[in-house]
Each structure stands twice: as C-alpha cells, then as structure tokens.
C-alpha cells in the first residue's frame, strides 16, 4: 500500500504543488500526518505565541489521482484512523470564542490510551477520531491549509471520521488530494480554537467519479447524508449548506422545491462545524432513510 509521509507537507492547497506520488482510482492509500501545530508543542511549557506560524496546519501530500480531471468528483472512503499516544490543546487571549475569557496562554498535553483521552484527573472521554484538514487543490491561486472552502480544506467537521465517505471536487488534473490536522476528539464549533490536536495515520480508498452531480463537499456515513459549506460568516455558511442540500433533494431525489424545503425543516439539522477559521463551516444533515425511501444509492 502506498504511504504518503509527513515530510511531504504543504501549507497551501494549490494546483501549483508538485504531486509527491501517484495513485489510481480504486487504490488504497495511507496518509501519515502531523498535528496542526506541526509537532512544535512538545511540552506544556511550549505556548501558542512561540509557534513558527509558517509551519502550522501542515497537510501531507498532495497525491495525484490518475484519470481525475476537472469536473469529476473524488470519492474518499475513510477506512481507518490511527492516533498517536498523546494530543495537545492550547488557548490564548483573543483566540477562538473563549479567548475573551482568558488572560494568559496555556498548553495542555493529553494522554490517549485504551481508546480514551485523559482530560484531567477527574475526566476522561472516549476518542472520536476525525480529520480536520482534507481537500483537493483549490481553483486559482490556491487556498491556505488553515482555511476551508469549496475544495474542502480546514472544515473541522466532526463527522469526517472512520467509516465516512467524503466527496470532493476535482479542480485540476489529478485532484491533488492532501490531508492533516487530526483530532482525537473535538466538539462541534471548535470554540476554543482547537480540539485535541494529534498526529496519526489515515487510510483511505480513492475512486474517481465521472458525471457525479453531488454538491461538494458532501459527506455520507452509516446514518446521515451531509452537505458542507464554508463562508465568511456563520449565517452565509448556514444558507450555503441548506441550499446545497435543497439542490441535492430536488436534483438527485426528484423532490419538488416545496417538499424539499419542507423536508429540511422537518428532519434536516443544521450543525456548526467550526467558528474559528478564516471561513466558518456548517453542515446540513439529513437521515439516510430519506435517500433510501426514494431509492437513491450513493456511488
């Protein structure tokens, strides 16, 4: 199996990045990833203010996927996520939503053992591994790996985990897939500027889809179908995610515009993925029972 190592890291998802390896549609690939701080925070004495910001949010890759051409969709099945034995969290004045409530910088190292994250002496939580940064090359000049967009990127969506399938747009030859910024656990919103940031490995299966009409980025797991949208404000992201799902219901399931909107108010859930990046990210979720009732099967 092909492995993409961390020494291939990029900091912008761009068509100008030379691919580090090639894969074929149908291949399984392992991406080794650094944490979002690039491994710079090794102890609780290392603080956010001391970071080399040129090495933050590294993504491993990019990978060239043969036969992927602009207009296609890259199907990414997340088969397995393996985590390091510890994660890290930080806070600082002015950072994230909670930055207004702190007066100094702080770093916390969190052990990960036996499927749990040890938060402190009183609290431990089950791990819920997810991928924070995953995307293809963006259109035009490219987009920093710390920023989400229509190409994917730093969406910080808690549902992008093991067993889920992510559909991404292909904007340039070979798609140029890259990923990083794993979390051992994170709450929706990522309000404190980060989750439990951690290094690890992600094994994915890649398939190039021709003539796929899904609104990308689009995510499917065993229970839900989700349209993901990023915008400058949460309000704009909410509208974008809702209308993307509305378009899916009318275009792919054949619902009329009235029932599609009513359905989203009945059983659709708007969920905030993150509010701390340059663009905010929201997902609209519907249960898979809806697509099954209409006989729709995802490629």
pLDDT tens-digit profile of 142-167? 999 999 999 999 999 999 999 999 99
Please give the CATH number for the structural domain made up of 219-293. 3.10.28.20
Cβ atoms of residues 80 and 200 within 8 Å:
no
Share of the chain above pLDDT 70, in %: 100
Mean pLDDT to the nearest integer, 47-55: 91
For residue 47, CA distances in Å to 17, 44, 66, 100, 105 come to: 31, 7, 42, 17, 6
Q: What is the 3-state secondary structure (H, E, C) of 44-75?
A: CCCCHHHCCHHHCCCEEEEEEECCCCCCCEEE
Question: In this prediction, what percent of the chain has a pLDDT beyond 90?
Answer: 98
What average pLDDT does the structure give for the chain? Answer: 97
Domain locations along the chain: 2-209, 219-293
Structural fold of domain 2-209: Jelly Rolls (2.60.120)
Task: Report residue 141's pLDDT band, with 50, 70 and 90 as the boundaries.
Answer: confident
User: What average pLDDT score do residues 198-215 get?
Assistant: 98
Task: In whole angstroms, give the CA distance from residue 288 to residue 282.
Answer: 19
d(CA 276, CA 212): 31
Query: Looking at residue 168, what is its pLDDT?
Result: 98
pLDDT given for residue 8 in this prediction = 94
Residues contacting 12, CB < 8 A, separation 6+:
142, 143, 144, 145
Pairing of strands 60-65, 106-113: unpaired
Residue range 214-220: average pLDDT? 98
Q: Are 113 and 85 in contact (CB under 8 A)?
A: yes
Given a cut of 90, whether residue 97 has pLDDT beyond it is: yes
Dist. CA 13–CA 193, nearest whole Å: 21
174-186 pLDDT, tens digit each: 999 999 999 999 9
Q: Where does the pLDDT of residue 238 fall: very low under 50, low under 70, confident under 90, or very high at 90 and above?
A: very high
- Taking the mean position of all CA atoms in its chain, how far away is CA 36? 12
pTM over 0.95? The answer is yes
* 217 vs 142: CA distance, rounded Å: 17
The pLDDT score that the predictor gives to residue 140 is 87
């Amino acid at each position: 199996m092909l492995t993409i190592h961390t020494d291939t890291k990029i900091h912008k998802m761009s068509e100008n990045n030379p691919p580090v390896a090639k894969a074929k549609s149908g291949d399984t690939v392992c991406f080794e990833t650094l944490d979002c701080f690039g491994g710079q925070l090794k102890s609780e004495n290392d603080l956010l203010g001391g970071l080399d910001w040129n090495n933050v949010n590294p993504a491993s890759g990019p990978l060239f996927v043969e036969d992927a051409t602009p207009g296609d969709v890259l199907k990414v099945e997340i088969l397995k996520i393996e985590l390091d034995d510890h994660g890290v969290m930080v806070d600082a004045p002015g950072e994230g939503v909670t930055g207004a409530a702190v007066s100094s910088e702080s770093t916390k190292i969190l052990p990960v053992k036996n499927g749990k994250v040890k938060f402190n002496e009183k609290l431990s939580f089950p791990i819920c591994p997810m991928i924070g940064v995953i995307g293809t090359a963006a259109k035009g000049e490219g987009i920093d790996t710390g920023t989400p967009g229509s190409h994917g990127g730093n969406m910080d969506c808690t549902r992008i985990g093991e067993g889920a399938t992510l559909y991404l747009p292909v904007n340039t030859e070979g798609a140029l897939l890259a990923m990083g910024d794993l979390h051992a656990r994170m709450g929706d919103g990522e309000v404190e500027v980060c989750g439990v940031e951690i290094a690890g490995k992600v094994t994915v299966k890649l398939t190039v889809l021709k003539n796929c009409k899904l609104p990308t980025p689009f995510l499917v797991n065993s229970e839900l179908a989700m349209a993901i949208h990023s915008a400058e404000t949460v309000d704009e992201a909410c509208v974008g995610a809702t209308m993307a799902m509305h378009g899916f219901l009318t275009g792919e399931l054949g619902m009329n515009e009235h029932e599609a909107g009513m359905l989203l108010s009945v059983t659709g859930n708007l969920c905030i993925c993150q509010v701390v990046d340059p663009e905010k990210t929201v997902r609209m979720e519907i249960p898979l029972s809806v697509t099954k009732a209409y006989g729709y099967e995802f490629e």
